[in-house]
Structure 1
Amino acid sequence: MKVLIIDDEKAMHLVMSKMLGKIPDLEIVGMFQDSLRAFSYIETHSVDLVFVDISMPKENGLDFAKRMAESDRDLPIIFVTSHKDYAMDAFDVYALDYIVKPVSFERLEKSVNRARAIHHYDYSDKKEDTFFIYCFGGIEVRSSMGPVKWISRKSEEVFAYLVMHHGRMVSRERIIEDIFPEMPRKNAVTYLNTVIYQIRKSLDPHGLKAIVHSNKDHYGLDLENATIDFVELENKLLTLDETSPEYMEEALRIEEVYIGPLFGERAFLWSFSDIERFHRLHGTFVKKLVPELLKNKEHNTAISLLKKIWSYNELDEEVVELLLHSYASKMDRVAFIELFEQYTGMMKIELGTSPSKELVGYYSEQLRELNRK
């Protein structure tokens, strides 16, 4: 099912894409801040379902729905809005559903299932054992039956470990060395066998038990039918076309895949190098994206993305300089000063030093400019 999101708030794009991304057989093909551009997209692209906000500038969601009906397109529309007062108006234009913010995943999933049932979307070409693995910000495995419930935290960890090996078989000795390093070998072998049994048992209700492979002394996962978020991120970054007119929208959609560090609070000791690798990959991408956002006067989006990577390392001077530049471009003198003072304080407390001369010089020069305006 190909889905479009229309909301003038970029924050809702992040919220909706994160939740919709957990629903199997659903692809977000576009996210727009106004319905006029969305309508143009629909005229030339295949779309199965639209989530649209009602209160928007230029053309509101109700007018958009009326225009869709007048164009004789039988396209299901689900309104997502902060206002309950529009409910009757929404159904007057034959909306499929009406969801009041804040949106819950359960409510969203119910609406999607309703759209599938009413409009009879055919997914016969999809393999029944298609499933999703989310590793950014935590660890979650989800099939059409819902999320996998792990029997133990260790079974979750070993599964995550095998996922990071991309379907390759891993020796028992290496697994023991990385995950059970302090346990006597005999006990570790017994424990590992128990954990593998628990993984299969957890996956069984989802029809995924057979993806766990083992031989005499190796274990691995068959991930042919899995969609894995970190694999998707790397692949999409490799194919991102900077010359495309849709570059910015596509780049922001790709960025949203990285909802937090690999495995989130479940950061396993063996995963630290991969956590750092993806953090650098995401950070480099955001730093490259910010100048383009500022050029398009998307100051709030640039600031939001920079704060996201700054939260992982508040001593990153390059990010601080980009944030200062963003505040200066926005003419936000108060935030500009507060950020520099906050960073200066952290440098003194954490490292017993001061910001570089280059940053201090940049700050002083920009502050003079802001004071003149």
Structure 2
Amino acid sequence: MRVILVDDEELPLKRLKRMLSVYADIQICGVFHNPAEALDYTAVHPVDAAFLDITMPGLSGLQLANRLRELRPALACVIVTGYDEYAVQAYDTDILDYVVKPVTEERLARTLQRLRRQLLADDQAHPLPQPQSQLQGTRLSIRLLGGLEISSGGSRREPVKLRSPKTLELLALLVCHRTISREEVADTLWRDLGPDKAWKNLNTTLYYIRRATSEGGLLPFLSTEGNMLHIDPAAVECDMYEFEALLQEAREIGDFSDDQLRRMDRLYREGGLLKGRMYEWATERARRLEHEYAAMLEAAARSKGTEPLRALQLYERLLQLDELREDIHREVIRLYVAMDRQSEARRQYRLLAQLLDRELGAPPDPELRQLLDS
């Protein structure tokens, strides 16, 4: 029986954990002072039963029980508290048992007996779930290049509606990093708040992400391990992951096939990482990704010595990324001159001159003029 314990007071929590640990059929898989952390854990880990204090900051035990059952409908909840006036309300909200502190061994044994009977009845009524590796489902589709879009994957793509802009930003941050600590997330998104409030916001926002993505047969993609948050790449379709894999493949073999370049261009055609989103944390990563892509395009263009038309296409794509690169304009002009296409070479020179004058108030390198006149 996999159980979690939730109480904002340290001593009762330790005592209950010690009393439960003597039972061979009990696995204590989570001990929490913060109700939001218990919700976060339960969203991605199987839990059979929860022992909950009733008076806690943020969420009461009864409110927490309702939220936990939204995540795990079969989960059994036991209220453990020093106040017996909530007993009637507890039973009205379908609480399995209500135990008044201080908990005795005899009283706890009766509670566990009730839990075992309920779990046995549930096992008989429902077959065991398949192992994770055999689960069938749809991957979450996340577009990060050229904007930010979240939808269900597969043949029928439906937009996934998230609660707020901050919820969307948190999901984008998690997907970009794949694995990241809670401290880094809190400092990145809520650095203007105190630590307690930042962590509360983080846990609440994680809950809203899981609730929004728990329907439609989507595979679970977000997990926690200790203090780390982890995105499972096998459970999501992400254009950035595909783009980075192509870059890595090209780096490893030291060459760039036309197929690789076409696939990267298709992915990057709409723009860079999180285009249009003013996420300060993404600026450096977006710049680095574009730099790597540009370096690959440039290397591929320079390797096309016997294919000037293909080299021109690649250089022109580079100028779409950064129109002020005078060195690339020079290569385009050089290729036009070599192909005896003087009108195109002069047009390219005029375009460069206009850009430099408008943006920098400077003329092109005099050597370019000499190249045209040669």
TM-score of the aligned structures, taking structure 1 as reference length: 0.54
Question: 2:320 and 2:184 mapped to 1: Cα distance?
Answer: 33
Partner of 1:338: 347
Determine which structure has more spread, i.e. the larger CA radius of gyration.
2
The alpha carbon displacement at 1:231 in A equals 2.7
Q: Which residue number in structure 2 is paired with residue 143 of structure 1?
A: 153
Provide closer, same or farther for how the CA distance between residues 325 and 203 of structure 1 changes in structure 2, counting only shifts above 3 A: farther
Letter in 2 for 1:153: P
Instruction: Number of aligned residue pairs: give it.
Output: 237
Q: Which amino acid aligns with 1:163?
A: V
Q: 1:171 to 1:234 in 2, by over 3 A?
A: closer
Match of 2:181 in 1: 171
Counterpart code for 1:338: R
Shift of 1:330: 5.1
- 1:303/1:323 contact within 8 Å kept: yes
Task: Give the distance between the partners of 1:351 and 1:243, measured in 2 at CA.
Answer: 36
Q: Match of 2:209?
A: 199
- Residue of structure 2 in register with 1:253 after alignment: 263
1:160 equivalent in structure 2: 172
Residue in structure 1 matching 2:373, options 354, 358, 368 = 368
Work out the CA distance in 1 between the residues paired with 2:249 and 2:203.
40
Of 283, 290, 304 in structure 2, the residue corresponding to residue 279 of structure 1 is 290
User: Is contact 1:150-1:156 (8 Å) kept?
Assistant: no
Map residues 1-373 of structure 1 onto 2, 5 A cutoff: 127-141=136-150, 142-144=152-154, 145-151=156-162, 152-166=164-178, 168=179, 170-208=180-218, 210-214=220-224, 217-240=227-250, 247-259=257-269, 260-293=271-304, 295-297=306-308, 299=309, 302-329=311-338, 331-356=340-365, 360-365=366-371, 367-369=372-374
Which SS does the other structure have where 1:129 is aligned? coil
Structure 2 CA distance for aligned equivalents of residues 267 and 310 of structure 1 = 24
How many Å apart are 1:293 and its aligned residue? 4.6
Please identify runs of 4+ aligned residues in structure 1 that moved more than 6 A: 241-244
Which 5+ residue runs of structure 1 have no aligned equivalent?
1-124
Once residues 189 and 209 of structure 1 are traced to their aligned partners in structure 2, the CA distance between those partners, rounded to angstroms, is 26
* Contact 1:136-1:264 within 8 A present in 2 as well: yes
Judged with a 3 Å threshold, the aligned counterparts in structure 2 of structure 1 residues 201 and 304 are, in CA distance, closer, same or farther, namely farther
Aligned-pair RMSD on alpha carbons?
3.3
Task: Report the CA distance between 1:165 and its aligned residue.
Answer: 1.6
| Cα deviations by residue, 1:283-331 (Å, 9 ceiling, x for unpaired) | 011111223456224x2x5444434332333222222223323443554
How many Å separate the matches in 1 of 2:149 and 2:348? 35
State the alpha-carbon separation in 1 of the partners of residues 213 and 340 from structure 2.
53
Q: Distance in 1 between matches of 2:253 and 2:340?
A: 28
Q: Is the 8 A contact 1:150 1:199 kept in 2?
A: no
Counterpart Cα distance in 1 of 2:254 and 2:325? 30
Unaligned runs of 5+ in 2: 1-133
**8 Å contact from structure 1 (residues 140, 147) kept in 2:** no
Identity over the aligned pairs, expressed in percent? 19
Query: Which amino acid in structure 1 is aligned with residue 148 of structure 2?
Result: I
Change (3 A) 1:207 1:345: same
Give the CA deviation at 1:208: 3.3
Q: Does structure 1 retain, via aligned residues, the 8 Å contact 2:153–2:237?
A: no
C-alpha spacing 1:285/1:363, structure 2 compared with 1 (3 Å) = farther
